[in-house]
Every structure is written in C-alpha cells, then in structure tokens.
Amino acid sequence: MNCFNRFLRYIAIDTASNPTSATHPSSPGQLILGQLLVEELQTLGCENIRQTKEGYVYATVPGNTNRKVPTVGFIAHLDTSPDMSGKDVHPRIIPSYDGQDILLNEKENIILKVSDFPHLKNRQNQTLLVTDGTTLLGADNKAGIAEIMALAETLMKNPTIEHGKVQIAFTPDEEIGQGSDFFDIPAFGADFAFTVDGEEEGSFNFENFNAASAHIHIHGNNIHPGSAKGKMKHALLIAQELQQMLPVFENPMFTENYEGFYHLNELQGTVENAKMHYIIRHHDMVAFNKQKTLLNSIVTFLNEKYGAGTCQLFITDSYYNMASLVEKRMDIIELAKTAIRKENLLPIIKPIRGGTDGARLTFDGLICPNLGTGGHNFHGKYEYITKEGMEKAANILLHIVEELSKEK
C-alpha cells in the first residue's frame, strides 16, 4: 500500500499541539489537516465522514460481507509534539540507505549516528526519510494517519477483499494528554480498536505507564541581598532543594523497561516565585501511588521548614495502564500477533514508556492497544522512518481486517 506519498503531504502541515492553549483543538493546523483528511475520505467514498468542532475526524469504511464480523477501529492523532517545532518540515529521502552515519544539517553539524541509534543498521538498503535537524519529522503520528488512510483506500478500491465494517478516527491533542477528552465512543461504533501510534513495524503494545502531572508553585520572599539574612526566602533554591530530595535514579536518563520516573519538564522563576512541572510515570499502580505520596511528603516537609503555603502542589492523574483490561481480551492480542506474523515479522511486544489515546479509551470502555508505524526517535530532531516500514505497518492493518473476516 502506498502510504509514503500521503505521509509527505501530511507533514507539510504544522499541527504541533499547544499545552498552554484553552481551545480545542489547541492549534489551528490540526483543523486544517483534519479538513484535508475529510476531503480525501470523501473522495474515497467512505461513509459517515465528519469533523467535530473540537477537531475529531470520524469515518466508516462500510463492510461488504453478509457474515457477522466484529467492527474494528483504527485511531491516530493529528498533532505532533510541542517539544520541538513541526513547522516548515524539510524531509530528506535517502534511497538504499548504506548503514552509515547521516549528516542531517551541515551548518549546525547535526549527525544521526549509528553509534547512538544502533537500530539504523537494520534499515540498510531501505528508503529512509529523515529531518534536516531543525524540526520534528512528524511520524508521530502522521505516519499512523497515512497508514490508516492507505488501508481505507485499499478496501474501498478492492471490493474483492471481503471485510466487515471498519471505523476510522483521527484525534487532536494526544501529545498534551487531551486526545480522548471529546472522543465519542458510542458514535464511533467499534467493538474494539487499535491506535496506530507505535514505533518499529511489528511492535505491539498493551501495557503503558500510569501517568500523572504535578504542578508546583513556590512562593519566595525577595529582599535586597545586602540585608537578606533571616529574611530572604529564595524560591528557585527551594525548587532546587525539592528536586534533590527525589530519588536520583528515578529519572528518565537512568530508567528503562518497567522502571518509573519523575521528570522535571519545566522550571522557571525568580527569587520571589518559581513554578515547576513534573510528569510522574510508573507501570505498577502501587509504585505509582507511592511516587505521588513521596512528592506530597516532600512538599509537606518544605512547608514545615520554610513556612505554611511556601509550596503548593497540584497533582492530576492523566491515564492508567491499560494492561489490566486488555489482558482480559486475549483474542485481540492474538489477532494482532497473527497479523504481524503474516507480514513475516516477529511481534515485538513491550511496554510503552509513555501513553496513547488508547489507554484512556480502554478505561472508558473501548479496548484499544497500540500498533507500530515504522518510525523511530520520536519527539526529537533525530526522528526517522522508512518507506518499507510504513508499508509493512499498513499491511498489518489489512491483515487484521482480513483475519476478522475469516469464517470461524
């Protein structure tokens, strides 16, 4: 399936979400991309196509079988991460990649190194798509969008492929934790779904972090440094003290697999006021709750040390580990494994060190594990994807539809 050209078209639109926006969606580019997808879905002849005011795009590929077949959904998100610019993306296509380091940007001396990313060796002789080192590429998650659209095109143009109804959704603001806020599960009408939002083709995820966001406001007291003794309360230094009281190695720089972390995502301020933003992550719910308890205890201690109200802590849970619910539907897990094997790949099953729309949707009643897109190094300038990986990822979606349509 040709999803590569679609992907190049979609990444030309800046859809970075904005975590400080009060609008839904948080950025206008998401509406622009959504409208383009609506038009393409209409051209394909899909049904029930609509874009909501919050930016969600829904569509149906009608079934063509008389047999009772479960309705599967496929979901990808419109936005790219605000961690790095997604504007004016200048991708470079590297045919027959030679397995060596890639100079992304000569002026800035930005190099995609095999020593840093050994999985590049596995992409030798494939067609790579890379950035110029100044922006994201946008594979997270426009690759997923392109693959779902390629699936829709294949099914609509090939009526000999017997299949049940397939539901499609593209969501806004996944990268800022709001992707499922206005998702209409009943109207979507799928019995279960997959987000197409993972990395390497053949990867399959049904475990993810439990996640929370912690905002801390520290109130200091600024006094002229010449007469500050006994009077000054330095908000930035208190923030530094708070960070030092957290476990040193429970930090993204030192953790992997099932290990959790506290990530100081933002610190800004002055002597008078400081603000900190943490994301808290752990796969294990007991350990996750202990993390939040520890942060509360540290804030309590600092308020006792520096005075009541010095530190204000606001913790909001973002999403939970979907494994406990997905594992009750082993048929869905086995379906994904079968589809991956049909593409001559071994299923790569590992926990997501992050989250997807599917995590929240699963807890809202729509079982929704995650499939790989063929992309790598998301959220940074070293992001890349291969044409071959995208095609395999799109074929896996088709295999899922075909497997569901087989007579049991």
pLDDT, one tens digit per residue, over 180-206 is 999 999 999 999 999 999 999 999 999
Q: Is the pLDDT of residue 115 over 60?
A: yes
DSSP conformational letter for 264: E
Average pLDDT, the chain: 96
The DSSP symbol for 309 reads T
Confidence (pLDDT) at 406: 86
- CATH number of 4-208+321-405: 3.40.630.10, 3.30.428.10, 1.10.10.10, 1.10.630.10? 3.40.630.10
Alpha-carbon span 5 to 401, nearest angstrom: 23
Query: Strand, coil or helix: what is 112?
Result: strand
pLDDT at 354: 82
User: What are 249-280's pLDDT values in tens digits?
Assistant: 999 999 999 999 999 999 999 999 999 999 99
Q: Give the pLDDT of residue 156.
A: 97
Whole-number Å distance between alpha carbons of 215 and 291? 14
Residue with tokens 């995208």: 390
Q: What per-residue confidence (pLDDT) applies to 331?
A: 95
| Residue 318, pLDDT score | 86
What integer pLDDT is reported at residue 2 of this predicted model? 80
What residues contact 395, with CB distance under 8 A and at least 6 apart?
1, 343
Q: Calculate what percentage of the chain has a pLDDT beyond 70.
A: 99
Q: How many CA atoms lie within 13 A of 168 on its CB side?
A: 32
Tell me which architecture the domain covering 210-319 has in CATH: 2-Layer Sandwich (3.30)
Residue 402, CA atoms < 13 Å, CB-side half-sphere: 18
Query: What's the pLDDT band for 408 if we cut at 50, 70, 90?
Result: low
Q: DSSP class of residue 100?
A: S
* pLDDT score at 356: 82
Helices marked H in 246-328 — which ranges? 285-306, 323-326
* Residue boundaries of the structural domains of the chain: 4-208+321-405, 210-319
Give the span between the Cα atoms of 407 and 1, in whole angstroms. 25
Residue 85, pLDDT score = 95
Residues whose CB falls within 8 Å of the CB of residue 39, separated by 6 or more in sequence, listed in order: none
The set of catalytic residues is: 79, 174
Q: pLDDT over 90 for what percent of the chain? A: 94
